[in-house]
Amino acid sequence: MMNTLQGCPGCTKDRILVDKITYRFSDPQPGDVVVFSGPTSWMEGEGGETAPSNPVAGFFRRAGSLLHLVDSGEKDFVKRVIATGGQTVECCDERNRIVVDGEPLEEPYVHWSGSSKEQEEFGPVRVPQDHLWVMGDNRNNSLDSRYQGGGGRAGAVPVDDVIGKAQFIVLPPTRWQGIYEDNPQAAALGAESTRGTDGRLPGELGYLTVIPAVWGYRRTVSLVSRTDSREHH
């Protein structure tokens, strides 16, 4: 998910606040950054979560773990929703863009690691109902729906596996910000593309005011550590 989230070797990994309430009332939408449990088939070549390295990180993790327990065969993943159930996704058009239901996507959040900006072709894949097609923002260095489970429909993520919506980066302090949301299908729909956060904390909240807010809402959120090892394929 680089550069949306940081998890590079030698840098301090982002820890993100996850909203576990929103999807009780609505389904994940294209452009949402979601946290979901990955079964064993998603774990080949993946690394586990890292333990908190300081007391503040430990506090956040303890608060979040009050509600979210991960089975021994599962790990948490962070990816962006590209298409939802019933939609058809493929790559690519003549301009190297992902296409959903025949319409190319505008994806300003995509990060290209290395010199190549060419995406690997796939599809078309019709996403099963009640599933999501998810991809990493670090597009050419991401284990996502294109590769998991052998690719194709098997790579789609069941909506029931979604833990919540990634909302804010809370650690390290230098990275405090909202997680950018952009509906990549908006141009085709003629709708506003940017939804939710725009890189700022809600209501311009300062560093000292967010910690008690997190504590007060600990029953509705969990904290996930972003690790670089989840990007490689």
DSSP label of 206: -
- Give kind and range of the element (H or E) at residue 221: strand 221-225
Domain-located, residue 3? no
Contact 1, 80 (CB under 8 A): yes
Contact 135, 31 (CB under 8 A): no
pLDDT tens digits, one per residue of 25-63: 999 999 999 999 876 667 654 434 444 455 554 554 444
Domain-located, residue 154? yes
Domain-located, residue 10? no
Pick out the chain residues at pLDDT < 70: 7-11, 39-41, 43-75, 187-233
At 100, the amino acid letter reads V
Considering the entire predicted model, what is its pTM?
0.74
Domain-located, residue 51? yes
pLDDT at 49: 42
pLDDT tens digits, one per residue of 172-187: 788 888 887 788 888 6
Q: Please classify residue 206 by burial: count the beta carbons closer than 10 Å to its beta carbon, then call 0-12 exposed, 13-18 middle and 19+ buried.
A: exposed
Question: How many domains are there within the chain?
Answer: 1
Give the domain range for residue 43: 15-230
Token pair belonging to 29: 């939408």
Domain-located, residue 79? yes
Query: CATH number for the domain including 139?
Result: 2.10.109.10
Backbone angles phi, psi at 134, to 5 degrees: -120, 145
Domain-located, residue 182? yes
